[in-house]
Amino acid sequence: MPARQMLSHSVFFTLNDNSAAAKETLTAACKRYLSDHPGTVFFAAGTLAEDYDRPVNDRRFDVALHVVFADQASHDQYQQAAAHMKFIEENKDNWKEVRVFDASVNP
């Protein structure tokens, strides 16, 4: 039997205002709007881990969002969900750069 195919959706935000308060505002918005969508297997949001500064660490972000969806259909529904759209509308003005990494993953 083939392994279940899930979708890992990781988003890295670089902020115009990257003060501690602005990072907390975006992290809280991630939790408020993006954490409880149908088909979500795992959710986490937080800030750059300052203690990890090795040559291989990409440190070009302030806030990271990680959501694993049960399948591609769950991800696709999330992209169009009203809460996701409200999150974008309320927060996009402080985004300097947004990088999205989607990967097919198995448990």
What are the tens digits of pLDDT across the range 3-50?
Answer: 689 999 999 999 999 999 999 999 999 999 999 999 999 999 999 999
**pTM confidence score:** 0.93
Domain parsing of the chain, residue ranges: 6-53+60-105
What are the tens digits of pLDDT across the range 48-90?
Answer: 999 999 999 999 999 999 999 999 999 999 999 999 999 999 9
Residue 44's Cα: distance from chain center in Å? 8
CATH architecture of structural domain 6-53+60-105: 2-Layer Sandwich (3.30)
